[in-house]
Structure formats: C-alpha cells, structure tokens
Amino acid sequence: MIRTLAWKEFRTLFAQPLAWVILAVVQFVMAMVFFWYLSQYFEILPRIQQLANPPGVTEVVVGGSFYFAAILLQVAVVLLSMRLFSDEYRNRTIALLLSAPISSTEIALGKFCGLMLFLLIPVALLTIMSASLALGGVVDWGLIGANLLALVLLLTAYSALGLLISSLTAHPLLAGFGTFMALVFLMLLNILATDPNATSNYLSPLNHFETIAKGLIDTANLSFLVIVTTTLLVLTSKILDRRRMQG
C-alpha cells in the first residue's frame, strides 16, 4: 500500500504544471551553478597548483554544487509539500483516505516517499553532471558519493518537516509559509553559529549535511538526520490518527 500511495502521489505531482516548472527551473539553475563552479576552478587552477595539498575538481565543483543544491531544493520542498495534506483537507478527500484499510503510518510514508521520488530526479541529474567530470580528468568518487548521501538524507529531513506542517492545516499557503520559516530558522542556526560545537549549530540539519559531504561519514551525523526524519514522520502519523478518531 505504501508503494501504491507513493506512486499515486508521484503521478499527482507531475499532473500539476507547478511540478514541471519547479523541475525545469531547478535543473536550469543547477546547470548554471555547476558550470560556474567549473569555470572558477579552471580560473584558480594555476594558483592552487602551487599549494602543498591543492583541492581537486571534485572538492571545488561537486562540493560547491551540492551545497547550493541543498539550499535551492528547500524551495522545492516548500512548494511541493505544502499541498500534500492541505489539499486533502480542503477538498474533503481526507475522510476517504483515512477510512481506507491502511494505517496512518502507511499514509504518511506513502506521501513522503512520493515526494522523495520527485526530489530524487534533480539529485540524480546533479549526480550525473558530477560524474561527467570523469570524462576530462580524475574525480573522487568517494566524495561524490558522500555528497549524494548527505543531500538525500537532508532532503528526507526537510520533506518530513514539510509533510508534518502540511498535516496541521487545510490552507496550503499557510503550510508553505510555515515550512519555509522553519527551514530558514534551521538554516540560520548553522549560518549564524559562531562556535562549531554550539548546540544551536548541532540542531541544524545543514551542519550535519556539511560534515557528511566532506566525506566525514560517522554514526552521529547519520543518526541525527535519520532520527529527525523518523520523529517527524511519527508525529505526522499521530496527527492522522487523531483526525481518524475524530471522524
């Protein structure tokens, strides 16, 4: 049932012109940013070659592109997640969904997986662009994999947050605004932190993304993003359980 609901949500997203616009704009911007980082790398190459341990093309181009994607795709999460439950409430189709022989957890996971399937498209395209660097030189495949893992885990946390906020209101714009403000707040926790070990910095998913993207894959950072995602999905299912009991 989770797979069926996820596929339904995925197809529903593509039935909306907004999804195609988001995909086209995101891909265009990401391609421009990727080639900008590439041109900057060749521009500074004569200078960095004089360093004892110069950064490679993967670190500069791929690292910069994936970090930009982590910021840009927040907008996609806001625009796509705000209707996941809000439209169900507004169109009064939530009663049919909750009366179906499927648990609230499966409903939450189905919608979450449908959203993630869509978000994986620009992530996959960015990964292909990064892999294309191998056609002209040596790339660090491990670092590309680390950036890919970091971005996917970050998007799961962001998507779960958007899903939770969407389950709280029947107004898509309100859900979108709430998700946007929450993501901005979490991003500022990382940007404004003066101490890398500060609690506020640790609570920002972007901080854990940066650590994993550098290739420092450890249990603490992976567990944080997984636990945050799981907690948000559990809260969403609890909200659906309460609505189911209220009829």
pLDDT tens-place string over residues 33-45: 999 999 988 887 7
Q: How confident is the model at residue 247 (pLDDT cuts 50, 70, 90)?
A: low
Distance CA 203, CA 201 (A): 5
Structural domain that includes position 101: 2-246
Q: What is the pLDDT of residues 78-106, one digit of tens each?
A: 999 998 888 888 888 887 777 778 888 89
For residue 45 the two structure tokens come to 């190459």
Q: What is the mean pLDDT of the chain?
A: 89
Q: Which of 107, 108, 117 is nearest to 13 (CA)?
A: 117
Lowest-pLDDT range, 59-68, 99-108, 157-166? 99-108
The encoded tokens of residue 140 equal 């660090």
DSSP string of 199-232, one letter each residue? HHHHT-HHHHHHHHHTT---HHHHHHHHHHHHHH
Q: How far apart are CA 102 and CA 113, in angstroms?
A: 16
CA 112 to CA 5: how far, in whole Å?
10
The answer to whether 54 touches 140, Cβ cutoff 8 Å, is no
Phi/psi region, residue 195 (left: phi>0; alpha: psi -120 to 50; beta: rest), is beta
pTM comes to 0.92
The number of distinct structural domains making up the chain is 1
Banded model confidence at residue 237, pLDDT cuts 50, 70, 90: very high
- pLDDT at 160 > cutoff 80: yes
